[in-house]
Amino acid sequence: MLKILLKFKMRYIIILFISFTSFAQSDEKVIREIYSNSLTNGKSYEWLDYLSNQIGGRLSGSLNAERAVNWTKSEMKLMGLDKVWLQPVMVPKWVRGAPEFAYIETAPGKTTKVNICALGGSIATSATGLKANLIEVKSFEELEKLGKDKIQGKIVFYNRPMDATLIDTFKAYGGCVNQRYEGAVHAIEYGAAGVIVRSMNLAIDDSPHTGSMTYGNIPVKDRIPSAAISTQHADLLSSMLKMDNNIQFYFKQNCKQMDDVLSHNVIGEITGSEYPDEYILVGGHLDSWDIGDGSHDDGAGCVQSMDVLRLLKVSGITPKRSIRVVLFMNEENGLRGGNKYAEEAFRKGENHIFALESDAGAFTPRGFYFDTDESNFAQIQSWKELFKPYLIHFFELGGSGADIGPLKTPYNVLSGLKPDSQRYFDHHHSENDTFESIHKRELELGAATMTALVYLIDKYGIINKVKL
């Protein structure tokens, strides 16, 4: 009897192994097809060329942003998706106005011009500009120690560089971005007249990098103008201050915050053949800053996400679950699009089992971050061998994306594409974020990598602890 049982058990194990091997071989073949289609017949590069060069920078609330909404909607319709629609969302409208101007003055009439750009959400200077002495700091704690007596009436110069020793440059960015975002709030507390912030960039160059900032609950009348200075000129300014702390800084900017305006998220869907009420989302943000054309941040993520659905179709895959591409509006200076999408999804009771965001540039894909529990992460890790031929190796817990973050529940899986990050902040939020910096093959590899993960999630589902 024991021999019979052992024989049966062994036969069962063999059947399971053969079955698993068969599935693995099938998945391997499908994923190879996905990569081949992306690298030989991809659309992401062509789409990004149009978005970047024919439309350009797409700051929330701008005419270009609306042009991008209408164009991407029309392209999705041409893809033959089951559904394409616009989701209304009210967004902030901030305009830069005439180009900024700044100089360092070492003596009356003796000046050195420097490159700055207004931070998103900043007020303008007066019509004649702002000239004042400076105080250089590297932290809010340092500001507090100096106190109001030493700061009042001066321009606070935040000059904490990104940490070059951190290999993950997004961690370096996270270690210093608070001086850009909250710098004005803290400087106002001590009576500062204005704020200049070192650009969030590891490279030493002449291009200032914009980005969002806040005044918190500070009344409009008490707000001060805030601008970024290029890393090269930040180093110059710091050196000059060490030689003479009585030098003055002048800058003029012409930005303005307008009333909120109506815009839209752009949504397309392939309806699932077996589980149409289970949603898999892939997306990026359609808006960008205005001083480049937003190719890396985040035109790339948008066109890659669109191509995920196209690649599924041309690879002959019929999704079991409903696959949505969502191009979010207003990630850069408000997250209104992501919040609106989540609000509507929860209101309708939509079950988003998985969401994937691409918002880290178009460089060579390395893998994914995941925001999920251990059981779902274990399942995803079991697929690593399928990605190995494409040099995709990074599968780590640790986050997802800003726009999909509001969709998080205890039971779903969120993910963010992780490209190589070493060159990303050379371009991020600057005039250097242009189509010329995009490598076609790297962009297409990213689209294929995203499609492969979506395919696997669709085929095998996720591990839910409760029935949704």
Query: What string of pLDDT tens digits covers the 468 residues of the chain?
Result: 444 444 444 443 443 344 444 556 799 999 999 999 999 999 999 999 999 999 999 999 999 999 999 999 999 999 999 999 999 999 999 999 999 999 999 999 999 999 999 999 999 999 999 999 999 999 999 999 999 999 999 999 999 999 999 999 999 999 999 999 999 999 999 999 999 999 999 999 999 999 999 999 999 999 999 999 999 999 999 999 999 999 999 999 999 999 999 999 999 999 999 999 999 999 999 999 999 999 999 999 999 999 999 999 999 999 999 999 999 999 999 999 999 999 999 999 999 999 999 999 999 999 999 999 999 999 999 999 999 999 999 999 999 999 999 999 999 999 999 999 999 999 999 999 999 999 999 999 999 999 999 999 999 999 986 544
pLDDT at residue 23 in the model = 58
State pTM to two decimals. Answer: 0.93
Question: Which residue type occupies 143?
Answer: L
Strand partners, 147: none
Strand partners, 394: 367
Structure tokens at 82: 């089951």
Spot the catalytic one: 136, 331, 332, 431: 331
Give which of 130, 438, 118 is closest to 297, Cα–Cα. 438
Question: Which residue type occupies 50?
Answer: Y
Distance CA 453, CA 82 (A): 21
Give which of 428, 420, 427, 231 is closest to 332, Cα–Cα. 428
Give which of 102, 33, 430, 68 is closest to 251, Cα–Cα. 102
331 catalytic? Reply is: yes
pLDDT at residue 14 in the model = 42
pLDDT at residue 24 in the model = 67
Domain boundaries, the chain: 35-92+259-460, 97-254
Burial class (CB in 10 A: 0-12, 13-18, 19+), 436: exposed
Question: Which residue type occupies 74?
Answer: S
pLDDT at residue 9 in the model = 42
Q: CB–CB of 360/285 below 8 Å?
A: no
Q: CB–CB of 199/173 below 8 Å?
A: no
Structure tokens at 400: 């997802």
Burial class (CB in 10 A: 0-12, 13-18, 19+), 50: middle
CATH architecture of structural domain 35-92+259-460: 3-Layer(aba) Sandwich (3.40)
CATH architecture of structural domain 97-254: 3-Layer(bba) Sandwich (3.50)
Q: Do domains 35-92+259-460 and 97-254 have the same CATH topology?
A: no
Bridge-based pairing of strands 155-158 and 130-137 is parallel
Q: CB–CB of 155/193 below 8 Å?
A: yes
pLDDT at residue 25 in the model = 73
Distance of CA 450 to the CA centre of its chain: 15
The runs of H, that is alpha helices, within 315-357 are 336-348
pLDDT at residue 464 in the model = 81
